[in-house]
């Protein structure tokens, strides 16, 4: 049975995204006028992190598509971290924050992520313990909960995938790229005066 944190994960994430979009539409970067080099560097880092996050989430999806909760996944990215999907999501969130060409947004995203998602992870792991028992205990003792550890990486020569399920996961894996495009669209609308920039952020 899912915990409350798990059940509300998507609604909370969507609400945070909506609130962030409202702030994005009404703010501007203090660096965009006199420090163009800073904004260029921030957006360059953003594209790298969003790319890494999208590829990482796609990699994770390959392993869990159709198998999540049915068996314990311990190979590929799941041999590096027990929660690689959330790890790559956090990278993507930081990337999207940097795409606003401020430091305020990425810091806010980091704060929100690490205040809420540890409870989600705790709830999921409690359920995995109930489903897989001793097997999960062994896995938990060998693989870190969040930050990847390269030692112990396991990758099978072949891996069975359910195409229908994987196709749905692919769409979820690349949503960071879509949001990056939305951020750029919003920035363009502010530049031509369609959206008001009510205050500036660093």
Distance CA(106)–CA(114), nearest Å, equals 12
Distance CA(88)–CA(70), nearest Å, equals 23
Residue 7, pLDDT score = 66
> 66 or 10: which carries more pLDDT confidence?
10
CATH code of 31-201, in short, is 1.20.120
- Give whichever of 5-9, 23-27, 153-157 has the largest mean pLDDT: 153-157
Distance CA(50)–CA(174), nearest Å, equals 9
The pTM assigned to this predicted structure is 0.87
Distance CA(110)–CA(11), nearest Å, equals 18
pLDDT tens sequence across 148-178? 999 889 998 888 887 887 888 787 778 888 8
**Domain range list for the chain:** 31-201
């Amino acid at each position: 049975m899912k915990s409350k944190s798990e059940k509300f994960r998507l609604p909370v994430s969507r609400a945070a995204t909506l609130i962030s979009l409202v702030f994005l539409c009404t703010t501007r970067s203090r660096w965009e006028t006199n420090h163009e080099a800073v904004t260029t560097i921030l957006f360059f880092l953003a594209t790298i992190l969003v790319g890494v996050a999208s590829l990482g989430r796609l990699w994770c999806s390959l392993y869990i598509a159709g198998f999540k909760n049915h068996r314990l996944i311990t190979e590929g990215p799941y041999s590096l971290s027990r929660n690689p999907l959330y790890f790559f999501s956090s990278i993507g969130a930081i990337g999207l924050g940097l795409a606003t060409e401020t430091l305020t947004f990425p810091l806010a995203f980091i704060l929100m992520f690490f205040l809420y998602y540890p409870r989600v992870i705790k709830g999921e792991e409690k359920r995995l313990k109930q489903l897989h028992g001793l097997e999960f205990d062994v896995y938990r003792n060998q693989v870190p909960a969040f930050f990847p550890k390269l030692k112990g990486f396991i990758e099978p020569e072949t891996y069975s995938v359910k195409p229908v399920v994987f196709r749905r996961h692919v769409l979820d894996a690349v949503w960071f790229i879509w949001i990056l495009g939305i951020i750029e669209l919003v920035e363009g609308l502010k530049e031509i005066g369609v959206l008001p920039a009510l205050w500036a952020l660093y």
